[in-house]
Structure 1
Amino acid sequence: MSVNRYDRVPIGAKFTEDGYLEDSPVLTRTGVFVYRDGNGKERRELRLPEDVFKADSLATYRNKPITKGHPGKVNAGNLKAHQIGTVTSEGRQDGGNVVSDIVIHDPRVVKQDGWKELSVGYAVDLIEEPGEYNGERYDARQTNIRVNHIAVVPIGRAGNARLNLDAADAATPIDDEDLPVMEKVRLDSGLEYDAAPEVANAYRKTRQDLDDANTKLSAEKARADAAEAAKKEAEDKAEKIKQDAVDQARARLELEAVCKEQGVEIKQDATDRQLKEAVTLKLIPGMKFDGQDDAYVNASYDIAMKNADKRRDDAANQRKKATPIRQDGAATKTAGASSARQKMAARMRGEKVEGDQ
């Protein structure tokens, strides 16, 4: 996971004849650093020497802007509004610290405001593996450290990152007890800000209100989706009922057509089963249906109809063989019983049958 961090340290320096402040201060160190997340919870993150002094990381200090306080991530689009100086060299190891050469072009933050400590704004990748380092507990390890800017601040996080000012150049000392206790606020973008407690609390409340609103929105969407699904299910059921009714009506028409063909009386209140039993008994006398289920009746009806169709087709074939050949050489066409019954059923359903006018 890649996030942004801001560590702080004090400044040691000299003013040039142009009024610029030049220095080679400590910018950060190795060890365990304490942060607070967006909910105010404390996190302890480790910066090992192999990560802090990695050549790729030290190279990212060069030409980075120096700002008054942490404005968030600095880039070409907002540089002009925040830059008061520049880091002029790559970072280099000095014991357990990182030092670099800097120049502050607008030193009013030091002379007038009395801010004399430094804070590194950087992005890191976090390895969420807790442990202990030199007797200090930590929650995660920072790796792949990329510097974005250096901020001049009232109080630094690193504890030893400050401008190397002598008593004559330094502004009136500020009692640490009078300085506000700053809290670290992490935004969704991964950037972090030092903020006064009231600002941090207001931000956390706003985030909580937003989370609550999103939760309610998700619940409403779930209810709307459920209602839409129920509506779709009801529509599908209605369509199925409609289709089933159409299928049943067609099946009834076909059954009544068979009854007429077989000379079975169709009573107004007769059920499909009763008609099928009557047709089956007409074709297969002696069948018994008492105590039998619908599946038995349906199977018996199907067998009776197949036998009837076969008998009629056989009779038709015999008639066809006996049909004299016309003088033009074409035989007289005789439709089979099955085909005739299918055409009659189609006419009962109102469908157009080939050969009809």
Structure 2
Amino acid sequence: METPEGYLTVNVPITRPGVFPYQRQDGTVQMEAKLPEDIFSDRTIYSARSKPVTDGHPNEPVTIDNYQTYAKGMSHTDSRVEDFKLYISLTVTDKTLIEKIHDGYNEISIGFLSDVVAESGIYNGDQYEYVQRNVEINHIAIVEKGRAGPEVAIRADSDAWQIDEKGGNTNMVKIKIEGTEYEVDPAVKAHIDALKAKEETAKVKGDSADALQGRLDALDLTIKAKDQEIATLKEQVLSADELDKQVEVRVKLIDAAKPLLGDSFDFTGKTDREIKEAVISTTKQDFKGDGKSDDYINAFFDAAVEQVQLNGFSSTGANSAYTGDAGGDKDLQALKNERLNMRK
């Protein structure tokens, strides 16, 4: 009815349970169900109250920031379930929209947010692949053709196929199956096309999954190699205490070797063994360290240094230096034992 001010107030159904085709952004179509337990839940019923009425669907949710741009009226607070539909009263306050309604632009489509859950089943003989859960109504649009059909109109979900409950759409389309053409309802063809698109998408996803798995495997190998590299570097990094110990050992070695090698000897870049072999060479001119074990070199070096410490011998006179010849292996073993005892 029209109010004295010229507004139009109506009590109308705005949505109903059912299975409806929805076109996704990639162009595919999927059948989604509005089931009674969802569309008639308290959450959805209350969400219809005090919501903007719009002329068609805006391309964004209606909020306080854009209300003046889109709102052409408002819903009341009497939302309830009647005749297995969700009803509410609306007041349209825009003159142009009221005139369009009188001219037949009078079906209703809800703008809403929901969780679309992959769940297949059959409702009232119609098969669906997805279910709309947690439906919250954002606005109520007046459209030329709503998704819920003329049952939900002034006497949702626009730019969709209108499904005639009494026998289907009269504008039949043709599809070809194994060379034979059949006339079917456009919604049926859309559903078949959607299934084909899903099959193609699944194939592409399968190929992409294989490629992705290959990349993941390669990345896993790279990570393992880096982990091993990091572990190796950690083993090579000396702690402060370890570094201090190595410096102390090196200084002691140089201090012990200097009396035999003299100040002119360059210790830079020499390994501990090279320094010890140089010391041994001062006491035994024909000495060659090739093939000698570290234990042999260490024992010979310790003995030579000890001899210097006992006799005050230095590199200026090698005649009294220890040569390692006297006792052969027995003498060498004694030196090893003595070296071990000094370390206790």
The TM-score normalised by the length of structure 2 is 0.53
Task: Verify the 8 A CA contact 1:124 1:143 in the aligned structure 2.
Answer: yes
- 3-state secondary structure, aligned to 2:289: helix
Distance 1:34 1:278, change over 3 A: farther
Task: Name the structure 1 match of 2:297.
Answer: 305
Structure 1 residues not aligned, in runs of 5+: 1-13, 165-180, 185-221, 241-248, 267-276, 282-296, 321-357
- 3-state secondary structure, aligned to 2:152: coil
CA distance in 2, matches of 1:261, 1:278: 7
1:258 partner amino acid: E
Distance 1:86 1:70, change over 3 A: same
Structure 2 residues not aligned, in runs of 5+: 162-214, 234-267, 313-344
Distance 1:163 1:142, change over 3 A: same
Task: Name the structure 2 match of 1:28.
Answer: 15
From 159, 162, 180, give the equivalent of 1:182.
159
Is 2:304 the counterpart of 1:280?
A: no
Question: Identity over the aligned pairs, expressed in percent?
Answer: 25
From 127, 139, 148, give the equivalent of 2:117.
127
Q: Give the 5 Å matches for 1:1-357.
A: 14-71=1-58, 72-112=60-100, 114=103, 115-159=105-149, 160-164=151-155, 182=159, 250-251=269-270, 255=274, 258-259=277-278, 262-263=281-282, 279-280=288-289, 297=291, 300-315=292-307, 318-319=310-311
1:43 partner amino acid: Q
Q: CA RMSD in A?
A: 3.6
- 3-state secondary structure, aligned to 2:119: coil
Task: Verify the 8 A CA contact 1:22 1:103 in the aligned structure 2.
Answer: yes
1:106 partner amino acid: D
Q: For CA contacts below 8 A with separation 6 or more, give which structure has more relative contact order.
A: 1
2:4 partner amino acid: E
Task: Name the structure 2 match of 1:191.
Answer: none
1:67 partner amino acid: T
Could you list the per-position Cα deviations for residues 257-279 of structure 1 after superposition, in whole angstroms to 9, with x for gaps in the alignment?
8337514999xxxxxxxxxx953
CA distance in 2, matches of 1:87, 1:112: 18
Task: Verify the 8 A CA contact 1:124 1:145 in the aligned structure 2.
Answer: yes
Task: Name the structure 2 match of 1:292.
Answer: none
CA distance in 2, matches of 1:19, 1:128: 46
- 3-state secondary structure, aligned to 1:24: strand
2:44 partner amino acid: S
Q: CA deviation at 1:108?
A: 1.5
Distance 1:152 1:75, change over 3 A: same
Q: CA deviation at 1:84?
A: 0.3
Q: CA deviation at 1:58?
A: 0.5
2:278 partner amino acid: C
Distance 1:140 1:90, change over 3 A: farther
Q: CA deviation at 1:141?
A: 1.1
1:311 partner amino acid: A
1:79 partner amino acid: Y
Task: Verify the 8 A CA contact 1:51 1:142 in the aligned structure 2.
Answer: yes
Q: CA deviation at 1:56?
A: 2.1
The TM-score normalised by the length of structure 1 is 0.51
Task: Verify the 8 A CA contact 2:21 2:29 in the aligned structure 1.
Answer: yes
Count of aligned pairs between the two proteins: 207
CA distance in 1, matches of 2:153, 2:283: 110
Task: Name the structure 2 match of 1:6.
Answer: none
